[in-house]
A and B are shown apart, each in its own frame.
Chain A
């Protein structure tokens, strides 16, 4: 059972278009992070959201954490070829029976932006 579902799995758009990708779960997370991974590289942290309903903006990227802290969305305005990559969400969740929290990753959304 996948704890964090990301949709769509693949997205191919033209430069200048807007898009939204989603990260959904039935579990509550103490925080949620978004990463972008380019081919042959490791994931790079984009943002962390902590409070339910929180909205963060990073230039053309807008991240929202759901009110119940179970889901999140990433909206990109006027996409550019440089936005191409794998977008991963990761939720922080307390580990059952153990101390501390664990970071649970989704499978990601592969975005391709063509010029």
Chain B
């Protein structure tokens, strides 16, 4: 058990749908991250939150909207996605920002049809 949970584990959505991914960490960490993992590509960092404040947004399209209501919860709101957005979306947390050891959740496998 990693201490970071993600729901749902699998999601299929149409391009006109709105859905949200949820991440919860039980490790007492103060930084949380969203990553996108596609086939044949390195993990792509999307967003970074430190103490509930967004500190990094790596040129992610506005159809992805993160929310961090407290240091234990992180959401990724999705709307009008494209088929190329299909991927594994991973949440991670760390005690300390950036290069510190990160603990990942199991991911949400997203398929956009």
B 26-45 to A, binary, CB cutoff 8 A, 1 in contact else 0: 00000000000000111101
Assembly CA distance A45 to B100 (angstroms): 11
Q: Which residues of B contact A88 (CB under 8 A)?
A: 43
A92 to chain B, nearest CB (A): 3
Stretch from A35-43, A54-62, A71-79 that touches the partner:
A35-43
Stretch from B13-21, B68-76, B79-87, B104-112 that touches the partner:
B104-112
Count the A residues whose beta carbon is within 8 Å of the partner chain — how many?
28
Please give the residue numbers on chain A whose beta carbons come within 8 Å of chain B beta carbons, in ascending order.
Answer: 2, 4, 30-31, 33, 35, 40-45, 48, 88, 90, 92-93, 95, 98, 100-108
Is the CB–CB distance between A44 and B101 below 8 Å? no
Assembly CA distance A101 to B31 (angstroms): 13
Given A2-B42, A40-B106, A88-B43, is A31 in contact with B2 using a C-beta cutoff of 8 Å? no
Where chain B touches its partner, the secondary structure class is: loop
B25 to chain A, nearest CB (A): 12
Is the CB–CB distance between A30 and B99 below 8 Å? yes
Can you name the residue of chain A whose Cβ is closest to the Cβ of B43?
A: A105
Is the CB–CB distance between B104 and A44 below 8 Å? yes
Count the B residues whose beta carbon is within 8 Å of the partner chain — how many?
25
Assembly CA distance A92 to B97 (angstroms): 11
Q: Other CB < 8 Å A-B pairs besides A40-B109, A42-B92, A44-B104, 20 of them?
A: A33-B102, A35-B104, A40-B106, A41-B106, A42-B2, A42-B4, A42-B107, A43-B90, A43-B104, A90-B43, A92-B98, A92-B100, A100-B99, A102-B56, A102-B98, A103-B98, A103-B102, A104-B42, A105-B43, A106-B42
